Amino acid sequence: MNKLLIVGTVAFDAIETPFGKTDKILGGSAPYIGLSASQFNVESAIVSVVGGDFPEAHLELLRSHNIDISAVEIISTGKTFFWSGRYHNDMNTRDTLSTELNVLSDFQPVVPTNFKKASVVVLGNLHPLVQSSVLDQITNDDALVILDTMNFWMDNTLEDLMAVIKRVDIITINDEEARQLSGQSSLVAAARKIHEMGPKYVVIKKGEHGALLFNGDNVFFAPALPLEEVFDPTGAGDTFAGGFAGFLTKTNDFSFENMKNAVVYGSALASFSVEKFGTERMCNLAPKEVFKRLQLFKNLTQFDIELT
């Protein structure tokens, strides 16, 4: 079976939206990516770190979705990474209220031996040196490497970020970050500049406005499903990345045509994630529900103009 390696944060999140607020719930990029990818029944593992305060129930939740967490280091004397944020009424912007790195500050990722030859590697949002150190441990030269990052690393560790970007096949990034990284206001121009930095594929996430996939002159676009209500956008980007990576791992076909399908799966799965707080919706998602939503995506986007 094809293997998917996920490196990212495992965290406590405390989230406030206009609909309510949570205590410390399961968060971090890796659980969102892993739970989303678990829809494809691939063999996956998370490399991360948590503190002694991290509940066994959260670990068990990940295990129960067939995610190998033997490489999630538990530092019993430390505390788990914590983030809290408050969304504005439009749900498109948020304020970070608190970020406590805790055990993440000294994180030295160790890739398990049985995942060094993973066919797909997702480098979730983390310090670019941590992302690079994971790549150093991968022994499959043909692995498809997907990197996610954010403006924080552009502001603070640009050189390290550029070094790891050069080594990956695909970068996923939001629209504002693509503009910042490239210095271009047009997303078409931004994608071209980012191609030149290394990645053959550039995925630009536009939140409620969908996602674009660029590969040279090839472009594909998938909308976000128009929703009556977005309950909590936290993790939508990671859920997208998890669906994208999970589908590619399962199909083992890294052509542009198949990546289109991966983008659609990623969008469909992200549309569930925002329906409830945190990872709740993704923990209880039946294949039948995903199937129905893909049908909605087809109805939403497919048309039938014949060009001959």
Calpha distance 104→258 (Å, rounded): 35
Burial of 256 (0-12, 13-18, 19+ CB in 10 A): middle
Least CB distance from residue 19 to a second copy, whole Å? 13
Residue 112 in the binding site for a second copy (CB under 8 A)? no
Q: How many residues make contact with a second copy (CB under 8 A)?
A: 39
Q: Which range touches a second copy (CB under 8 A), out of 35-43, 100-108, 162-170, 294-302? A: 294-302
Residues 6+ apart with CB under 8 A from 34: 6, 44, 46, 62, 65, 67, 242
Residue 269 in the binding site for a second copy (CB under 8 A)? no
Chain centroid to CA 170: how far?
12
Q: Are 242 and 265 in contact (CB under 8 A)?
A: no
Residue 295 in the binding site for a second copy (CB under 8 A)? yes
Nearer residue to a second copy within complex by CB, 112 or 223? 223
Figure out which of the listed residues 74, 150, 189, 283 binds a second copy, where binding follows CB under 8 A: 189
The two tokens of residue 100 are 């406590």
Calpha distance 68→188 (Å, rounded): 38
Q: Among residue numbers 202 through 241, which ones bind a second copy (CB under 8 A)? A: 206, 209-210, 212, 218-223, 226-229
Closest CA to 128 of 88, 181, 89, 87: 181
Residues 6+ apart with CB under 8 A from 48: 7, 8, 9, 10, 28, 30, 71, 72, 73, 107, 109
Residue carrying structure tokens 């499903």: 225
Least CB distance from residue 303 to a second copy, whole Å? 4
Residue 257 in the binding site for a second copy (CB under 8 A)? yes
The two tokens of residue 135 are 């790549």
Q: Which range touches a second copy (CB under 8 A), out of 103-111, 125-133, 236-244, 293-301? A: 293-301
Nearer residue to a second copy within complex by CB, 70 or 186? 186
Residue 183 in the binding site for a second copy (CB under 8 A)? no
Figure out which of the listed residues 147, 264, 270, 282 binds a second copy, where binding follows CB under 8 A: 264
Least CB distance from residue 261 to a second copy, whole Å? 5
Residues that bind a second copy (CB under 8 A): 89-90, 185-189, 206, 209-210, 212, 218-223, 226-229, 257, 260-261, 263-265, 291, 294-295, 298-305, 307
